Structure 1
Amino acid sequence: MRAEPPLARFRGILEKRLGWTTTDIEAVPILPVLAERAAARRLSETDYLNRLAGREWPEETTVLAERLSITETYFFRHGDQFRALSRQVLPERLAARAGQRVLRLLSVGCSSGEEAYSLAITAHQLRPAPDWIISVQGVDANREMLRRAGQAQYSEWSLRETPADVRERWFRRTGAGFDVVDEVVASVRFAEHNVAGPDEPRVWQPGRYDVIFCRNLLMYLTRETVATLLGRITDSLAEGGALFLGHTDTLGSHPDGFTVEQFGDTVYYRRVARRPAPAPEPRPRIPERPRRARRPPEDPRTRALELLAGERFAAALDIVPPDDLLLRGVLLAQLGRLEEAREVAQRLIDAGVPNPDAHQLLGVCLEPGDPEPAQGQYRLAAYLDPSFAMPRLRLGLLARRRGDAREAADELSAALALLPRETEERITLFGGGFGRLMLSSLCRTEREAAMSRGTRR
């Protein structure tokens, strides 16, 4: 039997390891890369291909992703999509997230970070108040590009489509080019992730994202990889969330789980609720043999807290124990049912037992309509439990919103000192879906911004 030519074999391995589909003419010629990498590993091309095709070789797969990726990009690329994002999609998502005051976006195939930072800048421009949390996740398989993204330093050429006023507000000119401002950098995280690899729970979580950008990537992937990636994207988009693809990619006119939306000359996809599968026909019940021991049922409260952490608020509300008023109130608030949540908080307060968490919940319910009484509730919560970090965080963010730099810095410093000892349950209840590290990062960023503003005055 004739041996498979090295080029064809190398293509097949790239499809398996990276999920890439290759054509007869690659944008990056792959035969020179094969020769280079075989020499670097001190192997013949045949031995190198045998090793690559065998057991997992993640360090070499990473190098191949770096050498073969097409990485050219720039800020606000395809401006028509960013206009749709800023004028139509994000205003709708901000209204939908008013109860949570959190906006999450994802850049798949983020390369050197320009797209992820463009998403963050657009979201920061539109956020209604400084206490809104903006979180952008960028993922890519190219480790070198992710290293550059983390530096947040760019040349003039990368900003060639960036308006002058955006440059002035969101970048700092340096001798080497431009740095993204710290406020935006703090809201963006990058992770190495191969979309052809196993599921990555840190990235893909049900209903997590308001917006996902996955542009000019699908056309390079095999059909199987595309199907897997689109399944993860669909599950990870919140209902009403938006998916933006590259101009060469399409989901067709009637994609499962989406409606096709148009704004100006651009098209994007809006996530809709999937129809539940029909219930199976009941089958005759067959008596089971007695078992020695049954697994104890999962504690409903524990499961409800897990669902809350995963932002599955309606599912959590369905199972929360009736007597757990605090957790019920938090879930109602997250669902935007603020009046019902406020009544629950008031019931807890009226019970006559000092309850700092109930005052924190009432503050959360009052804040969207009138921040002043919310401040009073947060101060009560902090007074009743001086170790409670979350009210100090809210007080600091409210002070930032009204321009009181000194109080903002004091309260955020207090929150930052208390957060390492805050309980996991309180972070789940009142952290808006963010963990201890992200909340600490938010405190530092907002405190530095407040102190900087106070110094300028």
Structure 2
Amino acid sequence: MIAAASLTRFRELLQRRLGWTFVDNDLGHTADVLAARAQAHGLTEREYLDRLAGRRWTAETAELASALSITETYFFRHTEQFRVLSERVLPELIDTRSGQRVLRLLSVGCSSGEEAYSLAIAAIRARPGPDWIVTVTGVDANREMLRRAREAVYSAWSLRDTPDDVRRRWFRPVEDGFRVADEVTATVRFVEHNVAGDDPQLWHPARYDVIFCRNLLMYLTADVAAELIRRMTRTLTDGGFLFLGHTDSLGSHPDGLDVCHVDGTVYYQRRVVAAPREPVPAPPPRRVTPAPPPPPRPPDRQRVLGLMRDDRFAEALDAAGTGDSLTRGVLLAQLGRVDEARDTANRLLHAGGPQADAHHLLGVCHELDCADRAAGQYRLAAYLDPRFAMPRLRMGLLARRRGDDRGAADHLSGALELLPTESDERIVHFGGGFGRLALTTLCRTELEACGVRR
């Protein structure tokens, strides 16, 4: 029998660790979990609570999240919200994102992954073509549910609200049920995260176009729920959309959001705030003191680039050190460690937002498995930096492979014009061992093959 004082203390610790609140009908299950977890560690209830309170116990917090969270869900749950997403929200986003061609979605409290994969399917179906990039992030504190989500195998009961045509197109029958198609799983990643804590990379400002956070707020304490709402609002792009559960409401005037009503469905849109006008700068003085020359690069970086020029990639990787850097990602790709290179590029993007070079590196990685996705990454890199020659060269070569000489000529001509001013570092990173002169010759040769002489 669990003492009332122990149970009260346990609930207070859970509020502090997980941000969860409890109602009286949770008491029996909560008491059972306390008894079971104390026994699992060979501790008395008091010893267990002292240990839980005394220091950060990440593994145990994950076990508690698994034991206490409600995990029942299914694909396309609350179809009216997905109808609004597909018929109104995604078309509007596609219209406003036509230059960047990227859709980023977030599922908060994703449980075993059905919601995250449903978002991915909806976005893939809505995108105008395969050159559009779709990324979905699912976050949850329940480690066991995330393991199931990554397996991407579900029972027929999980697909009970899935239209037949969607089931046939995006799921594959397997022995244990249905597996989500590889095209969908490739766009989704899952992250273990406790919403009571912060994660600057996950909640980077203006990162997501759509956020689903349904039936989670009601389980959180008021302070944790309010902070989560602020984070979600901040991490939406201008004009991005937030969907909550039917039991959640932000009132009629939520901070930074507009309330939308469509066919009985309520959702929210991040308000677009006009940028303030910049003051007109004063005319420069007649005599301008020249800016001091930039400081020289550290010798170690110069050494790494020198090793790369000599195709000594393994030595260069050792010299580059640990951590996430573009150079390290490029070297991993050069050494055939493509999965690690792709992960490095994704972490760079999650840490610092859109970066042309990181998107180009993702394109290099995808050339081995999906030419369309590679082209999409190159197109995004060129969009983010119009002076970047290398993605135009790669798009030209990809177009040549599929027999599109006109498209190839457009891209290669652009690359040829930009190559004289391409930075030496980008040539080393992405030139494939060729120098500026050799890349220029390659462009001219391919243009002649397209019927264009330069």
The reply to whether TM is greater than 0.5 is yes
Once the two structures are TM-superposed, the CA of residue 175 in structure 1 deviates from its matched residue by 2.1
Once the two structures are TM-superposed, the CA of residue 30 in structure 1 deviates from its matched residue by 0.3
Per the alignment, residue 89 of structure 2 pairs with 89
Instruction: Find the residue that maps to 2:250 and give its secondary structure.
Output: coil
How many angstroms apart in 2 are the aligned matches of 1:191 and 1:165?
A: 30
Report 1:110-125 matches (<5 A): 110-125=110-125
Report 1:70-85 matches (<5 A): 70-85=70-85
Report 1:374-413 matches (<5 A): 374-380=407-413
Inter-CA distance 331–158: structure 2 relative to 1 (3 Å threshold): closer
Asked if 2 retains the 8 angstrom alpha-carbon contact of 1:357 and 1:381, the reply is no
Per the alignment, residue 101 of structure 1 pairs with 101
How many angstroms apart in 2 are the aligned matches of 1:228 and 1:420?
A: 44
Asked if 1 retains the 8 angstrom alpha-carbon contact of 2:390 and 2:430, the reply is no
Letter in 2 for 1:106: L
Report 1:137-148 matches (<5 A): 137-148=137-148
Inter-CA distance 100–87: structure 2 relative to 1 (3 Å threshold): same
Once the two structures are TM-superposed, the CA of residue 119 in structure 1 deviates from its matched residue by 0.1
How many angstroms apart in 1 are the aligned matches of 2:184 and 2:381?
A: 29
Report 1:8-23 matches (<5 A): 8-23=8-23
Give the fraction of aligned pairs with identical amino acids, expressed as a percent. Answer: 55
Asked if 1 retains the 8 angstrom alpha-carbon contact of 2:146 and 2:190, the reply is yes
Per the alignment, residue 29 of structure 1 pairs with 29
Inter-CA distance 420–80: structure 2 relative to 1 (3 Å threshold): farther
Inter-CA distance 420–177: structure 2 relative to 1 (3 Å threshold): farther
Inter-CA distance 38–376: structure 2 relative to 1 (3 Å threshold): same
Inter-CA distance 251–56: structure 2 relative to 1 (3 Å threshold): same
Once the two structures are TM-superposed, the CA of residue 273 in structure 1 deviates from its matched residue by 3.0
Per the alignment, residue 177 of structure 1 pairs with 177
Asked if 2 retains the 8 angstrom alpha-carbon contact of 1:234 and 1:271, the reply is yes
Per the alignment, residue 310 of structure 1 pairs with 353
Q: Provide TM-score, normalisation by structure 1.
A: 0.65
Instruction: Find the residue that maps to 1:11 and give its secondary structure.
Output: helix
Per the alignment, residue 356 of structure 1 pairs with 389
Gaps in structure 2 of 5+ consecutive residues? 277-293, 296-347, 357-379, 397-403, 420-425, 432-454
Once the two structures are TM-superposed, the CA of residue 308 in structure 1 deviates from its matched residue by 12
Q: Deviations over 1:122-171 (max 9, x none)?
A: 00111100111110000000010000000000000000000100000000
Per the alignment, residue 213 of structure 2 pairs with 214
Asked if 2 retains the 8 angstrom alpha-carbon contact of 1:218 and 1:226, the reply is yes
Asked if 2 retains the 8 angstrom alpha-carbon contact of 1:214 and 1:244, the reply is yes
Pairs aligned (count): 327
Once the two structures are TM-superposed, the CA of residue 182 in structure 1 deviates from its matched residue by 0.3
Inter-CA distance 332–258: structure 2 relative to 1 (3 Å threshold): farther
Asked if 1 retains the 8 angstrom alpha-carbon contact of 2:392 and 2:415, the reply is no
Inter-CA distance 358–36: structure 2 relative to 1 (3 Å threshold): closer
Runs of 4+ in 1 over 4 A off after TM superposition: 274-277, 305-309, 330-335, 357-363, 371-374, 380-386, 418-421
Inter-CA distance 224–262: structure 2 relative to 1 (3 Å threshold): same
Per the alignment, residue 39 of structure 1 pairs with 39
How many angstroms apart in 2 are the aligned matches of 1:30 and 1:117?
A: 31
Per the alignment, residue 188 of structure 2 pairs with 188
Q: Deviations over 1:388-418 (max 9, x none)?
A: xxxxxxxxxxxxxxxxxxxxxxxxxxxxxx9
Asked if 1 retains the 8 angstrom alpha-carbon contact of 2:204 and 2:350, the reply is no
Asked if 2 retains the 8 angstrom alpha-carbon contact of 1:219 and 1:249, the reply is yes
Per the alignment, residue 51 of structure 1 pairs with 51
Asked if 2 retains the 8 angstrom alpha-carbon contact of 1:75 and 1:115, the reply is yes
Instruction: Find the residue that maps to 1:73 and give its secondary structure.
Output: coil
Inter-CA distance 152–28: structure 2 relative to 1 (3 Å threshold): farther
Inter-CA distance 184–307: structure 2 relative to 1 (3 Å threshold): closer
Letter in 2 for 1:225: V
Per the alignment, residue 268 of structure 2 pairs with 269
Q: Provide TM-score, normalisation by structure 2.
A: 0.65
How many angstroms apart in 1 are the aligned matches of 2:6 and 2:406?
A: 72
How many angstroms apart in 1 are the aligned matches of 2:128 and 2:269?
A: 23
Task: Give the aligned CA root-mean-square deviation in angstroms.
Answer: 3.7
Letter in 2 for 1:422: F
Gaps in structure 1 of 5+ consecutive residues? 278-295, 298-304, 314-329, 336-340, 346-354, 364-370, 387-417, 424-457
Once the two structures are TM-superposed, the CA of residue 26 in structure 1 deviates from its matched residue by 1.7
Inter-CA distance 160–358: structure 2 relative to 1 (3 Å threshold): closer
